Structure 1
Amino acid sequence: MRVKAYAKLNLALDILGVRQDGMHELDMLMQSISLADVLSIKCSDRVAIRCDSMTVDANNTVRRAAKLFFQTLGIRDGAEIVIEKYIPAQAGLGGGSSDAAATLFALNHLYEAGLDVGQLRELGVQIGADVPFFIGGGSMRARGIGEELQKISNQCKFRYLLVKPQKGVSTATAYGKFDAGEKQELIDVDAAVQALGQGDRHAYFKAAGNGLQRASAAICPAVGTILTKCKDRGADFAMMTGSGSCVFAVFEEESIREYAYQKFVKEYPFCKRAENVDVGIEIL
Protein backbone atom coordinates (compact mmCIF):
# COMPACT_ATOMS: atom_id res chain seq x y z
CA MET A 1 0.00 0.00 0.00
CA ARG A 2 1.36 3.43 -0.98
CA VAL A 3 0.12 6.64 0.61
CA LYS A 4 0.92 10.31 0.28
CA ALA A 5 1.48 12.13 3.57
CA TYR A 6 0.84 15.80 2.86
CA ALA A 7 2.68 18.67 4.56
CA LYS A 8 0.91 21.57 6.28
CA LEU A 9 1.23 25.31 6.64
CA ASN A 10 0.26 27.31 9.68
CA LEU A 11 -1.79 30.09 8.12
CA ALA A 12 -1.94 31.60 11.62
CA LEU A 13 -0.29 30.64 14.90
CA ASP A 14 -1.11 32.43 18.14
CA ILE A 15 0.34 31.44 21.51
CA LEU A 16 -2.16 32.15 24.27
CA GLY A 17 -0.10 31.07 27.27
CA VAL A 18 1.48 28.14 29.09
CA ARG A 19 -0.67 25.41 30.64
CA GLN A 20 -0.10 23.80 34.01
CA ASP A 21 1.44 20.78 32.29
CA GLY A 22 4.05 23.04 30.71
CA MET A 23 2.60 22.79 27.18
CA HIS A 24 1.66 25.94 25.29
CA GLU A 25 -1.98 26.84 24.69
CA LEU A 26 -2.34 27.51 20.97
CA ASP A 27 -4.81 28.86 18.46
CA MET A 28 -3.80 27.95 14.90
CA LEU A 29 -5.08 27.74 11.37
CA MET A 30 -3.65 24.70 9.62
CA GLN A 31 -3.79 23.96 5.91
CA SER A 32 -2.73 20.83 4.03
CA ILE A 33 -0.60 21.55 0.97
CA SER A 34 0.50 19.61 -2.10
CA LEU A 35 4.06 18.88 -0.88
CA ALA A 36 4.10 15.30 0.42
CA ASP A 37 6.19 12.36 1.59
CA VAL A 38 5.33 8.94 0.15
CA LEU A 39 5.13 5.83 2.36
CA SER A 40 5.08 2.25 1.06
CA ILE A 41 3.69 -0.11 3.70
CA LYS A 42 3.14 -3.85 3.67
CA CYS A 43 2.31 -6.43 6.34
CA SER A 44 5.22 -8.27 7.93
CA ASP A 45 6.10 -10.24 11.05
CA ARG A 46 8.12 -7.34 12.50
CA VAL A 47 8.35 -3.56 12.37
CA ALA A 48 11.05 -2.49 9.90
CA ILE A 49 11.46 1.12 8.73
CA ARG A 50 13.72 2.29 5.91
CA CYS A 51 14.42 5.78 4.62
CA ASP A 52 17.38 6.61 2.41
CA SER A 53 17.52 10.30 3.33
CA MET A 54 17.44 10.14 7.14
CA THR A 55 18.33 7.98 10.12
CA VAL A 56 15.42 5.91 11.42
CA ASP A 57 16.05 5.58 15.15
CA ALA A 58 13.80 4.49 18.02
CA ASN A 59 12.33 8.01 18.30
CA ASN A 60 11.27 8.17 14.66
CA THR A 61 7.57 9.06 14.45
CA VAL A 62 6.76 6.33 11.94
CA ARG A 63 8.34 3.65 14.12
CA ARG A 64 6.55 4.99 17.21
CA ALA A 65 3.21 5.13 15.38
CA ALA A 66 3.54 1.56 14.11
CA LYS A 67 4.53 0.17 17.51
CA LEU A 68 1.69 2.08 19.22
CA PHE A 69 -0.84 0.72 16.68
CA PHE A 70 0.21 -2.91 17.20
CA GLN A 71 0.49 -2.63 20.98
CA THR A 72 -2.88 -0.90 21.36
CA LEU A 73 -4.72 -3.43 19.21
CA GLY A 74 -2.82 -6.45 20.50
CA ILE A 75 -1.63 -7.39 17.03
CA ARG A 76 1.55 -9.49 17.10
CA ASP A 77 2.48 -8.89 13.47
CA GLY A 78 4.30 -5.87 12.08
CA ALA A 79 4.94 -3.87 8.92
CA GLU A 80 7.71 -3.04 6.51
CA ILE A 81 7.63 0.68 5.79
CA VAL A 82 9.70 2.59 3.24
CA ILE A 83 9.66 6.39 3.51
CA GLU A 84 10.36 8.62 0.50
CA LYS A 85 11.15 11.99 2.11
CA TYR A 86 10.30 15.21 0.31
CA ILE A 87 9.25 17.30 3.33
CA PRO A 88 12.36 18.70 5.03
CA ALA A 89 12.95 18.33 8.76
CA GLN A 90 12.93 21.27 11.23
CA ALA A 91 10.94 23.31 8.72
CA GLY A 92 7.55 23.78 10.41
CA LEU A 93 5.87 21.75 7.66
CA GLY A 94 4.89 18.83 9.88
CA GLY A 95 6.63 16.06 7.96
CA GLY A 96 7.22 13.78 10.93
CA SER A 97 3.66 14.17 12.20
CA SER A 98 2.21 13.65 8.73
CA ASP A 99 4.23 10.45 8.27
CA ALA A 100 3.00 9.16 11.65
CA ALA A 101 -0.62 9.88 10.73
CA ALA A 102 -0.20 8.15 7.36
CA THR A 103 1.28 5.12 9.13
CA LEU A 104 -1.71 4.81 11.47
CA PHE A 105 -4.12 5.35 8.58
CA ALA A 106 -2.46 2.72 6.37
CA LEU A 107 -2.10 0.09 9.08
CA ASN A 108 -5.76 0.55 9.98
CA HIS A 109 -6.61 -0.35 6.37
CA LEU A 110 -4.08 -3.14 5.93
CA TYR A 111 -5.10 -4.93 9.14
CA GLU A 112 -8.81 -4.06 8.76
CA ALA A 113 -8.78 -2.78 12.34
CA GLY A 114 -11.92 -0.69 11.87
CA LEU A 115 -10.73 2.36 13.82
CA ASP A 116 -12.69 5.52 13.03
CA VAL A 117 -11.19 9.01 12.62
CA GLY A 118 -11.70 9.83 16.30
CA GLN A 119 -9.93 6.68 17.44
CA LEU A 120 -7.04 7.25 15.04
CA ARG A 121 -6.68 10.78 16.37
CA GLU A 122 -6.62 9.49 19.95
CA LEU A 123 -3.68 7.32 18.98
CA GLY A 124 -2.06 10.10 17.00
CA VAL A 125 -1.95 12.64 19.81
CA GLN A 126 0.18 10.17 21.79
CA ILE A 127 2.83 10.58 19.08
CA GLY A 128 2.61 14.35 18.69
CA ALA A 129 0.19 17.25 19.06
CA ASP A 130 0.01 17.86 15.27
CA VAL A 131 -0.67 14.23 14.31
CA PRO A 132 -4.49 14.37 14.78
CA PHE A 133 -4.72 17.20 12.21
CA PHE A 134 -3.17 15.09 9.46
CA ILE A 135 -5.78 12.35 9.96
CA GLY A 136 -8.30 14.24 7.89
CA GLY A 137 -6.29 17.31 6.97
CA GLY A 138 -7.62 20.06 4.73
CA SER A 139 -8.35 23.38 6.44
CA MET A 140 -8.75 23.37 10.21
CA ARG A 141 -8.58 25.54 13.28
CA ALA A 142 -6.52 23.80 15.97
CA ARG A 143 -6.66 24.79 19.63
CA GLY A 144 -5.38 23.40 22.92
CA ILE A 145 -1.96 21.95 22.13
CA GLY A 146 -3.21 21.38 18.59
CA GLU A 147 -5.55 18.44 19.20
CA GLU A 148 -8.86 20.38 19.42
CA LEU A 149 -9.84 20.51 15.76
CA GLN A 150 -12.57 22.39 13.94
CA LYS A 151 -13.10 22.22 10.17
CA ILE A 152 -13.06 25.63 8.49
CA SER A 153 -13.62 26.88 4.95
CA ASN A 154 -10.71 28.21 2.92
CA GLN A 155 -11.88 29.89 -0.28
CA CYS A 156 -8.53 31.58 -0.93
CA LYS A 157 -6.84 29.73 -3.79
CA PHE A 158 -3.34 30.68 -2.75
CA ARG A 159 -0.24 30.02 -4.84
CA TYR A 160 2.60 29.33 -2.42
CA LEU A 161 6.33 29.36 -2.72
CA LEU A 162 8.10 27.47 0.08
CA VAL A 163 11.67 28.50 0.89
CA LYS A 164 13.82 26.95 3.63
CA PRO A 165 17.40 27.86 4.52
CA GLN A 166 20.00 25.23 5.32
CA LYS A 167 19.62 25.70 9.06
CA GLY A 168 16.50 24.34 10.73
CA VAL A 169 14.82 25.35 13.98
CA SER A 170 13.82 22.81 16.61
CA THR A 171 10.36 23.32 18.06
CA ALA A 172 11.63 23.15 21.64
CA THR A 173 14.30 25.78 21.00
CA ALA A 174 11.80 28.12 19.33
CA TYR A 175 9.34 27.92 22.22
CA GLY A 176 12.17 28.41 24.72
CA LYS A 177 13.23 31.58 22.93
CA PHE A 178 9.62 32.76 22.80
CA ASP A 179 9.13 32.15 26.53
CA ALA A 180 12.24 34.19 27.32
CA GLY A 181 10.92 37.25 25.46
CA GLU A 182 7.78 39.35 25.28
CA LYS A 183 4.78 38.62 23.10
CA GLN A 184 4.66 41.32 20.44
CA GLU A 185 2.82 39.75 17.52
CA LEU A 186 -0.78 40.90 17.01
CA ILE A 187 -2.73 38.01 15.52
CA ASP A 188 -6.51 37.91 15.00
CA VAL A 189 -7.33 34.25 14.34
CA ASP A 190 -11.11 34.89 14.31
CA ALA A 191 -10.69 37.51 11.57
CA ALA A 192 -8.36 35.22 9.64
CA VAL A 193 -10.95 32.41 9.73
CA GLN A 194 -13.63 34.79 8.45
CA ALA A 195 -11.35 36.11 5.70
CA LEU A 196 -10.46 32.62 4.45
CA GLY A 197 -14.11 31.60 4.44
CA GLN A 198 -15.02 34.66 2.36
CA GLY A 199 -12.04 34.30 0.04
CA ASP A 200 -10.82 37.75 1.09
CA ARG A 201 -7.06 37.40 0.74
CA HIS A 202 -6.25 40.96 1.79
CA ALA A 203 -8.28 40.67 5.01
CA TYR A 204 -6.41 37.42 5.71
CA PHE A 205 -3.04 39.10 5.17
CA LYS A 206 -4.01 41.79 7.68
CA ALA A 207 -5.23 39.36 10.35
CA ALA A 208 -2.65 36.55 10.10
CA GLY A 209 0.62 36.14 11.95
CA ASN A 210 2.94 33.64 13.60
CA GLY A 211 3.74 34.12 17.27
CA LEU A 212 6.97 32.13 16.90
CA GLN A 213 8.34 34.04 13.92
CA ARG A 214 10.34 36.60 15.88
CA ALA A 215 11.87 33.95 18.15
CA SER A 216 12.78 31.61 15.30
CA ALA A 217 14.24 34.45 13.20
CA ALA A 218 16.50 35.28 16.15
CA ILE A 219 17.69 31.65 16.20
CA CYS A 220 17.98 31.45 12.40
CA PRO A 221 18.52 34.95 10.89
CA ALA A 222 18.10 33.52 7.37
CA VAL A 223 14.34 33.44 8.10
CA GLY A 224 14.27 37.24 8.22
CA THR A 225 16.38 37.47 5.08
CA ILE A 226 14.01 35.20 3.16
CA LEU A 227 10.95 37.15 4.36
CA THR A 228 12.48 40.37 3.03
CA LYS A 229 13.44 38.78 -0.28
CA CYS A 230 9.91 37.40 -0.73
CA LYS A 231 8.45 40.90 -0.53
CA ASP A 232 11.17 42.31 -2.79
CA ARG A 233 10.39 39.63 -5.38
CA GLY A 234 6.68 40.36 -5.63
CA ALA A 235 5.00 38.31 -2.90
CA ASP A 236 1.69 39.71 -1.64
CA PHE A 237 2.36 38.10 1.76
CA ALA A 238 5.10 36.07 3.43
CA MET A 239 5.27 34.36 6.81
CA MET A 240 7.14 31.56 8.55
CA THR A 241 5.22 28.34 9.13
CA GLY A 242 5.19 26.56 12.50
CA SER A 243 8.44 26.99 14.41
CA GLY A 244 10.31 27.34 11.11
CA SER A 245 12.64 27.61 9.45
CA CYS A 246 10.53 27.35 6.27
CA VAL A 247 8.90 30.53 4.97
CA PHE A 248 5.87 30.51 2.69
CA ALA A 249 5.06 33.33 0.31
CA VAL A 250 1.74 33.99 -1.45
CA PHE A 251 1.58 35.31 -5.01
CA GLU A 252 -1.44 36.53 -6.95
CA GLU A 253 0.12 36.01 -10.38
CA GLU A 254 1.73 32.76 -11.49
CA SER A 255 4.32 34.65 -13.53
CA ILE A 256 5.52 36.53 -10.44
CA ARG A 257 5.72 33.30 -8.42
CA GLU A 258 7.77 31.73 -11.21
CA TYR A 259 10.10 34.74 -11.26
CA ALA A 260 10.63 34.45 -7.50
CA TYR A 261 11.08 30.66 -7.75
CA GLN A 262 13.85 31.04 -10.34
CA LYS A 263 15.67 33.43 -7.98
CA PHE A 264 15.24 31.42 -4.77
CA VAL A 265 16.03 27.99 -6.20
CA LYS A 266 19.58 29.17 -6.95
CA GLU A 267 20.10 30.50 -3.41
CA TYR A 268 18.54 28.01 -0.98
CA PRO A 269 18.64 24.19 -0.64
CA PHE A 270 14.84 23.86 -0.52
CA CYS A 271 12.45 25.82 -2.72
CA LYS A 272 9.11 24.37 -3.88
CA ARG A 273 5.84 25.55 -5.35
CA ALA A 274 2.67 24.35 -3.57
CA GLU A 275 -1.10 24.74 -3.43
CA ASN A 276 -3.86 23.86 -0.97
CA VAL A 277 -5.19 20.29 -0.83
CA ASP A 278 -8.32 19.05 0.94
CA VAL A 279 -6.92 15.94 2.63
CA GLY A 280 -4.02 15.03 4.90
CA ILE A 281 -3.45 11.53 3.52
CA GLU A 282 -4.12 10.05 0.08
CA ILE A 283 -3.95 6.42 -1.06
CA LEU A 284 -2.01 6.03 -4.31
Structure 2
Amino acid sequence: MALLVKTYAKINLFLNVVSQRPDGYHNIETVLQAIDLFDQLQFSLSDALQIQSNFDIALKDNLVYKAAAALQLATGVTFGACIKLEKNIPLAAGLGGGSSDAAATLLCLNKLWETNLSLEELKKIGSPLGADIAFFLGKQPTALAKGIGDELFSLSQNVDFWLIVAKPDFGVSAREAYDLYDKNPNKDGLVDNFTKSLAGSSVSKIASGLYNALEKPVMEAYPKIKKLKELFIKAGAIGAQMSGSGSAVFAITQNNVDAQRIADEALKKGYQAFVLRPSNYTVKICQT
Protein backbone atom coordinates (compact mmCIF):
# COMPACT_ATOMS: atom_id res chain seq x y z
CA MET A 1 0.00 0.00 0.00
CA ALA A 2 1.17 3.54 -0.78
CA LEU A 3 -0.24 6.82 0.50
CA LEU A 4 -0.16 10.09 -1.47
CA VAL A 5 -0.67 13.20 0.62
CA LYS A 6 -0.92 16.96 0.15
CA THR A 7 0.44 19.00 3.06
CA TYR A 8 -0.69 22.62 3.15
CA ALA A 9 1.03 25.80 4.29
CA LYS A 10 -0.34 28.25 6.86
CA ILE A 11 -0.26 31.94 7.55
CA ASN A 12 -0.59 33.69 10.89
CA LEU A 13 -3.41 36.20 10.65
CA PHE A 14 -2.72 37.23 14.22
CA LEU A 15 0.27 36.57 16.49
CA ASN A 16 0.73 37.99 19.97
CA VAL A 17 3.62 37.01 22.24
CA VAL A 18 2.21 36.61 25.75
CA SER A 19 5.33 35.75 27.77
CA GLN A 20 8.70 34.06 27.71
CA ARG A 21 8.83 30.68 29.43
CA PRO A 22 11.56 29.36 31.75
CA ASP A 23 12.46 26.76 29.09
CA GLY A 24 13.25 29.53 26.59
CA TYR A 25 10.11 29.09 24.51
CA HIS A 26 7.34 31.70 24.33
CA ASN A 27 3.66 31.52 25.17
CA ILE A 28 1.68 32.94 22.27
CA GLU A 29 -1.81 33.62 20.98
CA THR A 30 -2.03 33.12 17.25
CA VAL A 31 -4.74 32.65 14.64
CA LEU A 32 -3.61 30.15 12.02
CA GLN A 33 -5.15 29.84 8.57
CA ALA A 34 -4.32 26.99 6.18
CA ILE A 35 -3.72 28.13 2.59
CA ASP A 36 -3.75 26.22 -0.70
CA LEU A 37 0.01 26.12 -1.22
CA PHE A 38 1.12 22.55 -0.62
CA ASP A 39 3.92 19.99 -0.66
CA GLN A 40 3.25 16.42 -1.79
CA LEU A 41 4.48 13.28 -0.07
CA GLN A 42 4.23 9.61 -0.98
CA PHE A 43 4.69 6.88 1.63
CA SER A 44 5.29 3.17 1.04
CA LEU A 45 6.66 0.36 3.21
CA SER A 46 10.39 -0.37 3.07
CA ASP A 47 13.05 -2.15 5.13
CA ALA A 48 14.61 1.14 6.26
CA LEU A 49 13.79 4.84 6.38
CA GLN A 50 14.54 6.44 3.01
CA ILE A 51 13.85 10.05 2.03
CA GLN A 52 13.80 11.15 -1.61
CA SER A 53 13.25 14.85 -2.24
CA ASN A 54 13.60 17.65 -4.76
CA PHE A 55 15.57 19.72 -2.25
CA ASP A 56 18.82 19.01 -0.43
CA ILE A 57 18.81 18.98 3.37
CA ALA A 58 20.74 16.91 5.91
CA LEU A 59 18.70 14.15 7.56
CA LYS A 60 19.37 15.61 11.00
CA ASP A 61 17.55 18.79 9.90
CA ASN A 62 14.78 17.08 7.91
CA LEU A 63 11.51 17.18 9.86
CA VAL A 64 10.05 14.35 7.78
CA TYR A 65 12.89 12.04 8.79
CA LYS A 66 12.83 13.27 12.40
CA ALA A 67 9.07 12.66 12.66
CA ALA A 68 9.41 9.14 11.23
CA ALA A 69 12.31 8.35 13.57
CA ALA A 70 10.39 9.74 16.56
CA LEU A 71 7.39 7.53 15.75
CA GLN A 72 9.68 4.50 15.46
CA LEU A 73 11.22 5.29 18.84
CA ALA A 74 7.87 5.87 20.54
CA THR A 75 6.28 2.67 19.26
CA GLY A 76 9.23 0.34 18.91
CA VAL A 77 8.32 -0.60 15.35
CA THR A 78 11.05 -2.05 13.15
CA PHE A 79 9.39 -1.17 9.83
CA GLY A 80 10.91 1.35 7.50
CA ALA A 81 9.38 3.51 4.81
CA CYS A 82 10.25 5.03 1.46
CA ILE A 83 9.13 8.66 1.61
CA LYS A 84 9.12 10.83 -1.51
CA LEU A 85 8.80 14.57 -0.88
CA GLU A 86 8.01 17.18 -3.53
CA LYS A 87 8.73 20.50 -1.85
CA ASN A 88 6.77 23.56 -3.03
CA ILE A 89 6.34 25.54 0.20
CA PRO A 90 9.32 27.91 0.64
CA LEU A 91 11.73 27.12 3.48
CA ALA A 92 12.29 29.34 6.54
CA ALA A 93 9.38 31.52 5.46
CA GLY A 94 7.00 31.37 8.44
CA LEU A 95 4.57 29.23 6.40
CA GLY A 96 4.87 26.01 8.40
CA GLY A 97 5.95 23.80 5.52
CA GLY A 98 8.26 21.61 7.58
CA SER A 99 5.69 21.19 10.34
CA SER A 100 3.00 20.31 7.82
CA ASP A 101 5.24 17.64 6.27
CA ALA A 102 6.08 16.26 9.73
CA ALA A 103 2.38 16.07 10.67
CA ALA A 104 1.60 14.16 7.48
CA THR A 105 4.48 11.79 8.21
CA LEU A 106 3.10 10.99 11.67
CA LEU A 107 -0.43 10.50 10.34
CA CYS A 108 0.54 8.34 7.38
CA LEU A 109 3.14 6.16 9.06
CA ASN A 110 0.76 5.62 11.97
CA LYS A 111 -1.60 4.17 9.37
CA LEU A 112 1.00 2.39 7.23
CA TRP A 113 2.77 0.82 10.22
CA GLU A 114 -0.57 0.07 11.95
CA THR A 115 0.64 1.60 15.22
CA ASN A 116 -2.90 2.85 15.96
CA LEU A 117 -1.90 5.85 18.06
CA SER A 118 -4.51 8.47 18.90
CA LEU A 119 -4.29 12.03 17.62
CA GLU A 120 -3.27 13.22 21.09
CA GLU A 121 -0.48 10.64 21.22
CA LEU A 122 0.78 11.80 17.80
CA LYS A 123 0.72 15.41 19.02
CA LYS A 124 2.92 14.47 21.99
CA ILE A 125 5.43 12.85 19.64
CA GLY A 126 5.36 15.83 17.27
CA SER A 127 5.49 18.61 19.87
CA PRO A 128 9.28 18.54 20.46
CA LEU A 129 9.84 18.77 16.70
CA GLY A 130 7.73 21.89 16.10
CA ALA A 131 4.89 23.77 17.77
CA ASP A 132 2.89 24.11 14.52
CA ILE A 133 2.71 20.32 14.07
CA ALA A 134 -0.29 20.20 16.42
CA PHE A 135 -2.21 22.56 14.11
CA PHE A 136 -1.60 20.43 11.04
CA LEU A 137 -2.49 17.24 12.91
CA GLY A 138 -5.70 18.86 14.13
CA LYS A 139 -7.15 19.14 10.62
CA GLN A 140 -8.98 22.38 11.45
CA PRO A 141 -8.06 24.89 8.70
CA THR A 142 -8.67 27.92 10.92
CA ALA A 143 -7.68 27.77 14.58
CA LEU A 144 -6.64 29.81 17.59
CA ALA A 145 -3.45 28.42 19.12
CA LYS A 146 -2.22 29.21 22.62
CA GLY A 147 0.62 28.04 24.86
CA ILE A 148 3.61 27.37 22.63
CA GLY A 149 1.12 26.84 19.79
CA ASP A 150 -0.04 23.39 20.85
CA GLU A 151 -3.30 24.36 22.61
CA LEU A 152 -5.82 24.56 19.76
CA PHE A 153 -9.32 25.96 19.48
CA SER A 154 -11.24 25.64 16.22
CA LEU A 155 -12.54 28.88 14.68
CA SER A 156 -15.19 29.60 12.08
CA GLN A 157 -13.92 31.55 9.09
CA ASN A 158 -16.74 32.89 6.90
CA VAL A 159 -14.94 35.53 4.86
CA ASP A 160 -14.09 34.99 1.18
CA PHE A 161 -10.77 36.54 0.16
CA TRP A 162 -7.69 36.08 -2.02
CA LEU A 163 -4.08 36.03 -0.91
CA ILE A 164 -0.69 36.88 -2.30
CA VAL A 165 2.21 35.23 -0.49
CA ALA A 166 5.71 36.39 -1.38
CA LYS A 167 9.18 35.65 -0.02
CA PRO A 168 12.53 37.40 -0.43
CA ASP A 169 15.66 35.47 -1.33
CA PHE A 170 16.48 34.58 2.30
CA GLY A 171 14.80 32.96 5.28
CA VAL A 172 14.46 33.79 8.96
CA SER A 173 14.53 31.08 11.61
CA ALA A 174 11.95 31.10 14.40
CA ARG A 175 14.73 31.22 16.98
CA GLU A 176 16.23 34.34 15.43
CA ALA A 177 12.83 36.04 15.16
CA TYR A 178 12.05 35.47 18.84
CA ASP A 179 15.53 36.57 19.87
CA LEU A 180 14.96 39.82 17.99
CA TYR A 181 11.55 40.18 19.64
CA ASP A 182 13.01 39.69 23.14
CA LYS A 183 15.27 42.70 22.51
CA ASN A 184 12.31 44.84 21.44
CA PRO A 185 9.04 43.36 22.80
CA ASN A 186 5.58 44.73 22.05
CA LYS A 187 2.11 43.54 23.07
CA ASP A 188 -0.50 45.58 21.23
CA GLY A 189 -2.80 42.92 19.79
CA LEU A 190 -6.16 41.78 21.18
CA VAL A 191 -6.94 38.29 19.91
CA ASP A 192 -10.60 38.30 20.99
CA ASN A 193 -11.32 41.31 18.77
CA PHE A 194 -9.69 39.60 15.81
CA THR A 195 -11.50 36.26 16.18
CA LYS A 196 -14.82 38.12 16.13
CA SER A 197 -13.94 39.60 12.74
CA LEU A 198 -13.47 36.09 11.32
CA ALA A 199 -17.05 35.18 12.09
CA GLY A 200 -18.37 38.13 10.08
CA SER A 201 -18.32 38.71 6.35
CA SER A 202 -15.98 41.69 6.00
CA VAL A 203 -12.60 41.33 4.32
CA SER A 204 -11.69 44.86 5.43
CA LYS A 205 -12.26 44.01 9.10
CA ILE A 206 -9.92 41.05 8.87
CA ALA A 207 -7.34 43.14 7.04
CA SER A 208 -7.51 45.96 9.59
CA GLY A 209 -7.10 43.50 12.47
CA LEU A 210 -3.95 41.80 11.19
CA TYR A 211 -1.24 41.76 13.85
CA ASN A 212 2.15 40.09 14.31
CA ALA A 213 4.27 41.02 17.31
CA LEU A 214 7.37 39.59 15.61
CA GLU A 215 6.99 41.78 12.54
CA LYS A 216 8.52 45.04 13.77
CA PRO A 217 11.78 43.63 15.21
CA VAL A 218 12.28 41.27 12.28
CA MET A 219 11.65 44.03 9.73
CA GLU A 220 14.13 46.28 11.52
CA ALA A 221 16.76 43.57 11.10
CA TYR A 222 15.68 42.74 7.53
CA PRO A 223 14.51 45.89 5.69
CA LYS A 224 13.77 43.89 2.53
CA ILE A 225 10.81 42.25 4.32
CA LYS A 226 9.48 45.70 5.22
CA LYS A 227 9.88 46.82 1.60
CA LEU A 228 7.85 43.81 0.47
CA LYS A 229 4.99 44.73 2.79
CA GLU A 230 5.14 48.33 1.57
CA LEU A 231 5.06 47.10 -2.03
CA PHE A 232 1.85 45.18 -1.31
CA ILE A 233 0.14 48.16 0.31
CA LYS A 234 1.25 50.56 -2.43
CA ALA A 235 -0.03 48.13 -5.08
CA GLY A 236 -3.50 48.21 -3.54
CA ALA A 237 -3.72 45.30 -1.10
CA ILE A 238 -6.40 45.72 1.57
CA GLY A 239 -3.94 44.54 4.20
CA ALA A 240 -0.51 42.90 4.44
CA GLN A 241 1.58 41.27 7.14
CA MET A 242 4.61 39.09 7.73
CA SER A 243 3.61 35.50 8.43
CA GLY A 244 4.91 33.92 11.63
CA SER A 245 8.64 34.44 12.06
CA GLY A 246 9.07 35.43 8.39
CA SER A 247 10.51 35.93 5.92
CA ALA A 248 7.31 35.55 3.85
CA VAL A 249 4.73 38.33 3.73
CA PHE A 250 1.10 37.87 2.71
CA ALA A 251 -1.42 40.35 1.37
CA ILE A 252 -5.22 40.22 1.24
CA THR A 253 -7.42 41.25 -1.68
CA GLN A 254 -11.09 40.81 -2.57
CA ASN A 255 -10.60 39.24 -6.00
CA ASN A 256 -8.16 37.23 -8.08
CA VAL A 257 -7.57 40.02 -10.62
CA ASP A 258 -6.10 42.31 -7.96
CA ALA A 259 -4.23 39.39 -6.42
CA GLN A 260 -2.56 38.46 -9.70
CA ARG A 261 -1.68 42.08 -10.47
CA ILE A 262 -0.05 42.53 -7.07
CA ALA A 263 1.77 39.20 -7.34
CA ASP A 264 3.16 40.31 -10.71
CA GLU A 265 4.52 43.46 -9.05
CA ALA A 266 6.32 41.32 -6.46
CA LEU A 267 7.72 39.02 -9.15
CA LYS A 268 9.10 42.04 -11.05
CA LYS A 269 11.00 43.04 -7.91
CA GLY A 270 12.59 39.61 -7.63
CA TYR A 271 10.41 38.10 -4.94
CA GLN A 272 9.00 34.57 -5.11
CA ALA A 273 5.21 35.04 -5.22
CA PHE A 274 2.03 32.95 -5.21
CA VAL A 275 -1.67 33.75 -5.69
CA LEU A 276 -3.64 31.65 -3.22
CA ARG A 277 -6.90 31.05 -1.38
CA PRO A 278 -7.60 29.83 2.16
CA SER A 279 -7.59 26.03 2.25
CA ASN A 280 -10.17 23.68 3.75
CA TYR A 281 -7.41 21.23 4.64
CA THR A 282 -4.20 21.13 6.67
CA VAL A 283 -3.29 17.63 5.46
CA LYS A 284 -5.20 15.70 2.76
CA ILE A 285 -4.70 12.05 1.91
CA CYS A 286 -5.38 11.93 -1.83
CA GLN A 287 -4.64 8.32 -2.74
CA THR A 288 -4.18 4.98 -0.99
Provide TM-score, normalisation by structure 2: 0.95
Give the paired residue count. 283
Q: Do 1:50 and 1:56's aligned partners in 2 also have CA atoms closer than 8 Å?
A: no
User: Is the counterpart of residue 167 in structure 1 residue 137 in structure 2?
Assistant: no
**Which of 258-267 and 68-77 deviates more?**
258-267
Aligned to 1:83: 85
Give me the whole-angstrom Cα distance separating, in 2, the residues matched to 1:97 and 1:137.
15
Give me the whole-angstrom Cα distance separating, in 2, the residues matched to 1:194 and 1:29.
12
Aligned to 1:111: 113
Q: 2:103 aligns with which of 101, 104, 120?
A: 101
Deviations 1:158-216 (A, max 9, x none): 20000100021111111111101141x52121111111012333332333200000111
Q: Do 1:90 and 1:170's aligned partners in 2 also have CA atoms closer than 8 Å?
A: yes
Q: Do 1:42 and 1:81's aligned partners in 2 also have CA atoms closer than 8 Å?
A: yes
**Which of 265-274 and 32-41 deviates more?**
265-274
Structure 2 unaligned segments of length 5 or more: list them: none
User: Is the counterpart of residue 139 in structure 1 residue 142 in structure 2?
Assistant: yes
Deviations 1:47-76 (A, max 9, x none): 111212222322311111001111211110
Tell me the SS of whatever aligns to 2:194: helix
Q: 1:267 aligns with which of 252, 266, 269?
A: 269
Within-5 A mapping of 1:1-284? 1-135=3-137, 136-183=139-186, 186-284=188-286
Tell me the SS of whatever aligns to 2:199: helix
Provide TM-score, normalisation by structure 1: 0.96
Q: Do 2:164 and 2:276's aligned partners in 1 also have CA atoms closer than 8 Å?
A: yes
Deviations 1:112-142 (A, max 9, x none): 2222222221221121111110011400000
RMSD: 1.3
Give me the whole-angstrom Cα distance separating, in 2, the residues matched to 1:280 and 1:266.
30
Q: Do 1:44 and 1:80's aligned partners in 2 also have CA atoms closer than 8 Å?
A: yes
Inter-CA distance 122–182: structure 2 relative to 1 (3 Å threshold): closer
Q: Do 2:161 and 2:255's aligned partners in 1 also have CA atoms closer than 8 Å?
A: no
Question: After the TM superposition, which parts of structure 1 deviate over 3 Å for at least 4 consecutive aligned residues?
Answer: none
Give me the whole-angstrom Cα distance separating, in 1, the residues matched to 2:105 and 2:58.
14
**Which of 74-83 and 258-267 deviates more?**
258-267
Percent of aligned positions that are identical: 33
Q: Do 2:161 and 2:277's aligned partners in 1 also have CA atoms closer than 8 Å?
A: yes
Give me the whole-angstrom Cα distance separating, in 1, the residues matched to 2:263 and 2:206.
23
